[in-house]
Every structure is written in structure tokens, then in C-alpha cells.
Amino acid sequence: MGIEPLGYRAYGGPVRGPVFRFWPICRVALAPIFRRKVFWIFLVISLLSFMLYSAMIYLQTQLPPELPKEMADMVKQFLFTGKGRAYQYFISQQGTVVMLMLALAGRFLVGDDFRSRAIPFYLSKPITKLDYFLGKLIATAGLAALITLAPALVLFLEYGAFTESFSYYWENLRLLGAIGAYGALVSLVPATLLLGLASLLKRTIPLIIAWGGLFLFLPAVVEAIRSADVGGKSVAWSWGLLDLWSDLRWVSNGLFGVKEEVYGERWPYAAAVLAGSCGLALVTFWRRVSAVEVVK
């Protein structure tokens, strides 16, 4: 073996500017997750729901135009209406799979970097804390968007493709924006909270317990409080602000225009709670990363 392979070899790949410094961090964070079978199991589970909705849209176009009233009323209960409530329900339903998947992926995304002391390796290069954060955030949110936002957009395109003209797209541009905004919320909010928790807890079991308490225990407590009658009076809806699922749903009601007379006053408060929770997670993540001693 000659000595040439041990010498300097010039890099022959594409050269990117400093704006894309987060991309290698994102790619390295996703690599171990894609190698896990459990990720593909969750992906298949999420695709089952998507395939069901997709089949509903296809069958809807194959029905004869005239049906008996009784049969038509029965069929409407199982059809995908193409309205805001249908997409809202689909994304909310997919959020359950997202929560389970992110609970298991948190250790690989962030926790292992703190446990193996890999953060000084990242930050000792020409990479800033902001680049590290963006890389991890895009990787985490991308996993969630792969299950929520991407299938919802495909359903929107499929529903419009089966209409007689492209008028469905033009008449529902606001609906498309609501789908994109709600899908981004369901992806970014859990991703930000996961970064904060994973940087604080590091290990899988404590992370799963905290994650379950945040998205399972708190909603159960809130539901128990709201279902209780105190002196014959119903409990105020503001208790629901402790449930992040309710906050996301109330914000989505504002986006899709669902019962504005009821939820119009709720979604600003829900948005404030989500912003505060994400801000606290960001501060936690930033302080944990800043506490790492880096030798330049």
C-alpha cells in the first residue's frame, strides 16, 4: 500500500455557504433514527390512517350521483368531506403517533450528545449554538411533519384532483394555509418541547416519564377537573389551558374557523400558553448547551 492515501485529499463535494451549516447536524441526527425498526413501525401505523382517508376520497368519486336518501345519509358519515374539520381531525389523529415516536427518538436526537459529550465536538468547529439548535429542531420537526403535515397536503391534492376542475384549489387557498399552519404547529411545538426535555433529562426512561406526564397525565387531570361539578356549576374552560393538546386544538379552531363564536376567545390564550411553553423549553436547551465547556 502506497503512502499517497495518507496524504492530503481535496474535498470534491458540493460547497455550501454558512447558511447551511445546520444541515450536517440534521442529517447526522436523523441517521440513527432511520436505522431503528421502531421508527418504521410508527411510520407504517401512521400510513394506515392516511391510506384509509385516501381510500375514502377515491370511493367518494366512484359512488353514483343519485342515491336513496337513507343510504346517502349513512354514506356521508364515512366520507372525507374536504372541509377544514376533516383535515383538522386527521392531523390531530396523527399527533398521537407523533408523541409516541418523539418520546423514543428524544435520546437519539439530543440526549446522547450530552451523555457522550459530543457537543464540544460540534461547537469546536465553525458551528454556532444557533446552528446546532436549528439542526436538531429541523430534524425533530421533520420527523413530526413526515407523519402530520406531508400526508395532509397529499390528501388536499388528492381531493382536488378528483374534482371536475381545479376550482377546489383556488377556492380553498385559505384552507391550504390553515393546513400548513396547523401541521407546522403540531410539528414545531412538540419538537421544541422535546429538545428542552431531552437536554435536561438525557436518558430514555426519565424522558418517556416526563413526556407521558406532559401529554397523557396532564390531559387526564384536566379532563377529570372539567368533568367535575363544583357546587352544581361547570368548571371554567380556562383549566383546559393546562392541556397542550387542547391548546393546539383551540389554536387550530381559530385557523380553520371552527365555531368562532365559542373558540374565538380561547385561541389567543392557548397560543400564549404554547408560546410560553416553547420559550421555557428554548431557554432550558440554550442554557444546557451553553454550560458545555468548548475549546476553540
Question: What would the pLDDT profile of 16-46 be if each residue is shown by its tens digit?
Answer: 666 678 888 888 888 888 888 888 888 888 8
pLDDT: which is higher, 122 or 270: 270
Degrees (nearest 5) of the Cα angle 279, 257, 238? 50
% of the chain exceeding 90 in pLDDT? 15
Non-local CB neighbours of 265 within 8 Å, separated by 6+ positions: none
Residue 234 lies inside a defined structural domain of this protein: no
Mean pLDDT of 258-281: 83
Task: Quote the CA–CA distance of 259 and 252 in Å, as a whole number.
Answer: 11
Q: Could you tell me the pTM of the whole model?
A: 0.83
Residue 283 lies inside a defined structural domain of this protein: no
Residue 231, pLDDT > 70, answer no
Mean pLDDT of 239-243: 80
Instruction: Work out whether the CA dihedral 184, 185, 191, 196 comes out positive or negative.
Output: positive
Residue 249 lies inside a defined structural domain of this protein: no
Phi first, then psi, for residue 170 (nearest 5°) are: -70, -35
Which residue carries 392531523 as its cell?
A: 91
Across the chain, mean pLDDT equals 80
User: pLDDT tens-digit profile of 1-14?
Assistant: 455 555 656 666 66
Residue 279 lies inside a defined structural domain of this protein: no
% of the chain exceeding 70 in pLDDT? 80
Contact yes or no for 262/282 (Cβ under 8 A): no
Residue 225 lies inside a defined structural domain of this protein: no
Mean pLDDT of 208-229: 79
Domain containing 34 equals 17-217
Residue 114 lies inside a defined structural domain of this protein: yes
User: pLDDT tens-digit profile of 69-116?
Assistant: 555 555 555 567 778 888 888 998 888 888 888 888 877 787 777 777
3 state DSSP class of 230: strand
3 state DSSP class of 231: coil
Domain total in the chain: 1
Non-local CB neighbours of 87 within 8 Å, separated by 6+ positions: 152, 155, 156, 175, 178, 179, 182, 256
Residue 285 lies inside a defined structural domain of this protein: no
DSSP state, residue 83: S
Report the pLDDT value the prediction gives residue 232, as an integer from 0 to 100. Answer: 47
CA-based Rg of the chain, rounded to a whole angstrom? 23
Report the pLDDT value the prediction gives residue 186, as an integer from 0 to 100. Answer: 92
Residue 270 lies inside a defined structural domain of this protein: no
3 state DSSP class of 257: coil
Report the pLDDT value the prediction gives residue 188, as an integer from 0 to 100. Answer: 92
User: pLDDT tens-digit profile of 143-188?
Assistant: 899 999 999 999 999 888 887 677 888 888 899 999 999 999 999 9
